[in-house]
Amino acid sequence: MIGDNLQQVRERIVKACTTVGRDPASVHLLAVSKTFPAEVVREAHAAGQTAFGENYVQEGVAKIEALRDLRQTLQWHCIGPLQSNKTRVVAEHFDWVHSIDRLKIAQRLSEQRPEHLPPLQVCLQVNVDAGANKSGAAPHEALALARSVASLPRLRLRGLMAIPEPAPDFESQRDLFLAAARVFEAIRQDGIELDTLSLGMSADLEAAIAAGSTMVRVGTAIFGRR
């Protein structure tokens, strides 16, 4: 079943890209495996999926350990809010962090990333619609934060991530994602090299791709409802 679901999501990505004249290879699929057991991740990996997103640090680390035999072929992304007391374990186990919203977190990740590992790939989380319950830096703060994070050792700043409030239709969804895309482009125009715009989930990935997303974070459409 998971293999079939993955194929359906991949087909949605191809169709969305074709509709707006983009190369489907420019959009990466991140399978969000939070709350699902390691065996389900193993099944998705057998169906060709290699990148997985986890919202909860301890749960993610437990899966990384349980799937150690696949470690060289799996890419683990921490996509949930990150507190200071969790930065060390994230720096030691994950490949990517999508949710940096303040400099302190980035500094701790930089200091705690082990020397024997490649640089930690990171994205800044931007709160594009000022959602009261959403994490993320304000859009007007993003450039200064990007400049600071880009200068830190042991990290590589890749781009931005956003989770706007749900919108009722395609146009409204796309407009919210375009707000994130504008922040992304403003940072790039400042001379900071970015290549990742992490936008869109199961319900709105088409609108995200239309707005320029290069990575969609899909859980329910692959693994089912939690």
> If residue 31 lies in a helix (H) or strand (E), which one and from where to where?
strand 28-32
Q: How confident is the model at residue 135 (pLDDT cuts 50, 70, 90)?
A: confident
Q: What is the pLDDT of residues 83-101, one digit of tens each?
A: 999 999 999 999 999 999 9
Q: Compute the mean pLDDT over every residue in the chain, rounded to the nearest whole number.
A: 96
CATH level 2 (architecture), domain 2-223: Alpha-Beta Barrel (3.20)
- Going by pLDDT thresholds of 50, 70 and 90, the confidence category of residue 130 is confident
- The answer to whether 123 touches 106, Cβ cutoff 8 Å, is no
- The residues spanned by each domain of the chain are 2-223
What is the distance between the alpha carbons of residues 118 and 108, in angstroms, rounded to a whole number? 16
Span 140-166, average pLDDT: 97
By three-state DSSP, how is residue 165 classified?
coil
pLDDT of 77 > 80? The answer is yes
Q: What percent of the chain has pLDDT over 70?
A: 98
Q: What is the pTM of this model?
A: 0.96
DSSP secondary structure, 73-127, as one string: G-EEEE-S---GGGHHHHHHH-SEEEEE-SHHHHHHHHHHS-TTSPPEEEEEEB-
Q: Is the pLDDT of residue 192 over 70?
A: yes
Count of Cβ atoms closer than 10 Å to residue 3 Cβ: 14
- The percentage of residues in the chain with a pLDDT greater than 90, rounded to a whole number, is 95
Position 51 pLDDT exceeds 90: yes
For residue 132, what pLDDT is reported?
65
